[in-house]
Amino acid sequence: MERLGPNQLEALRVQRPRYHRDLLRGGIVHLGIGAFHRAHQAVVTEDAIEADPDGHRWGIVGVSLRRPDTHDALMPQGGLYTLAIRDGGSVDHRVIGAVIDVLVADHDPEAVLERLAHADTRIVSLTITEKGYCHDPATGALNPRDAGIAHDLSNAAPPVTALGYLARGLQRRRQRGLGPVTLLSCDNLASNGDTLRGVLLAFAERVDPALRDWIATHCTFPNSMVDRIVPKTTADDVTRVSNALGLHDAWPVVGEPFLQWVIEDRFAAGRPRWEAGGAQFVDRAQPFERLKHRLVNGSQSMMAYFGVMAGWPTTDRVIAQPGLRAFIDDAMRHELQPTLPLLPGLDVDAYRESLLPRFENPALGHRTRQIAMDGSQKIPQRLLAPIAERLARGQPFDRLALGVAAWIHFLRGYDEHGEAYPIEDPMADLLRPLASDVRAITGFAPVFGALGTSAVFVDAVGRQLGRLRAQGTLVALAGILKAP
């Protein structure tokens, strides 16, 4: 089968770029060009380019910090790839053209630094996952003991962390007299822009205090919230999409119909007309972040750990279990939603009720082990933060305590059928020896912070962990559903 590429665009019978791609310039550098970015921000950027006569300024130069697989798949296709939107039995295909280049930091770090310091670059966006910020998950502060950070602080080049690349790239911009950029985190972190600003300034202070001051004065760090379920692309996805196109697409992406992007409108050097693709600009994104992190991501994490332990491989299989569905609904309704701030103009009840149908979309095949990765980086904002709020108000949090217990139970490394699985977490070596003792693991401050000193919290998690260990997932869920 012939390969997807620029020369085949006109013959495609699916939605495709309606602009002259050869005019695109790299106004956006995106660190971490994985499936989520290509199914979310890049799609909104595609709409912005098409809607704006001056949209050619906003082509995307993607950066893979480690592996070359995205580069190797996309660059023979001229950066083109297909987005397949799946909803039950229906599928819509669209070829995206906004990506004009993909760089691999491990292969050519100099090219990445030069692109960050390029005159065309106006926005540097990031989807590097929570662990990519090299921070203390409980506090959000830079972790100077992180091996990558220690390397980048002691070696001028080449960097190995995203923060190292950002600091050195911005250093070149400053030295060359170029303008500032917007640094836009699109990761699931609490106050992600503020967190990025904090860790980058702390890093830059150690490199050069004058660089730190330049970044703090000139660059902006909007907070944002992103939402779309995007599972990992499989070989079957490649086959199905290629057959639908009649051309071989080496790396398409799959997503659900729902897409949300809420961004604080604070840009240092302009921005695309992202509202044309459905983005919402606000003064403060944190209330929307909290909505998503707790109702969507908190529910997904709990589903993932119960699913892995019980042997349910995908979220649609998990949510099809009556006990699990009822548990997630109760946890959202009674323990997560009451911790949310007011969101004028949003019907939170309707938003919550829309989530279960999204989770049960069988066409996505969203794997529980994929969601379960890097729990130490996710649990603090998804489960521990709402628990701390409920604890401070004297309100019950038994369901969320069971969710935390499920993560600790997951850390043992084998499911309830005896099947082993890897613990993919940057803190796995520190956490696994503690997982057999609830007081030891909840006392692990980088994850639990001050919450681990609360006897009420530790006892609640210990009680639920004991039930999981003694009774298994289904019985433990049934027991908590009977509780008042």
pLDDT at 415: 95
pLDDT at 484: 55
Which has the closest alpha carbon to 376: 328, 432, 420? 432
Cα distance between residue 364 and residue 351, in whole Å:
20
pLDDT at 157: 77
CB 37, CB 187: distance < 8 Å: no
pLDDT at 459: 98
Banded model confidence at residue 479, pLDDT cuts 50, 70, 90: confident
Residues of the chain with CATH 3.40.50.720: 6-283
Rounded to two decimals, the pTM is: 0.95
30 pairs with which residues across the strands?
62, 125
User: Which residues, in sequence order, are CB contacts of 157 under 8 Å at separation 6+?
Assistant: 109, 113, 168
Q: What is the CATH number that goes with domain 286-482? A: 1.10.1040.10
CB 253, CB 84: distance < 8 Å: yes
Q: Which residue has the higher pLDDT, 334 or 478?
A: 334
Cα distance between residue 368 and residue 116, in whole Å:
35
pLDDT at 218: 96
| pLDDT (tens digit per residue) in 63-99 | 999 999 999 999 999 999 999 999 988 999 999 999 9
Instruction: Find the mean pLDDT for residues 384-391.
Output: 98
pLDDT at 437 over 80: yes
Entry field: residues in the chain: 484
Banded model confidence at residue 480, pLDDT cuts 50, 70, 90: confident
pLDDT at 482 over 80: no
pLDDT at 483: 62
| pLDDT (tens digit per residue) in 263-302 | 999 999 999 999 999 999 999 999 999 999 999 999 999 9
Cα distance between residue 482 and residue 484, in whole Å:
7
Instruction: Find the mean pLDDT for residues 206-234.
Output: 97
pLDDT at 91: 95
For the record, the structure tokens of 263 come out as 């961004």
Instruction: Find the mean pLDDT for residues 413-425.
Output: 96
Banded model confidence at residue 156, pLDDT cuts 50, 70, 90: low
- Percentage of the residues of the chain whose pLDDT score is greater than 70: 99
Q: What is the mean pLDDT of the chain?
A: 96
The CATH architecture one would assign to domain 6-283 is 3-Layer(aba) Sandwich (3.40)
CA 472 to mean position of chain CA atoms: 30
| pLDDT (tens digit per residue) in 304-324 | 999 999 999 999 999 999 999
Supply the DSSP symbol for 273: -
Instruction: Find the mean pLDDT for residues 12-37.
Output: 97
Residues of the chain with CATH 1.10.1040.10: 286-482
| pLDDT (tens digit per residue) in 339-372 | 999 888 899 999 999 999 999 999 999 999 999 9
CB 319, CB 360: distance < 8 Å: yes
Angle made by CA atoms 163, 165, 166, in degrees to the nearest 5: 65
Q: Are strands 224-227 and 260-264 parallel, antiparallel or unpaired?
A: antiparallel
For the record, the structure tokens of 207 come out as 């490199």
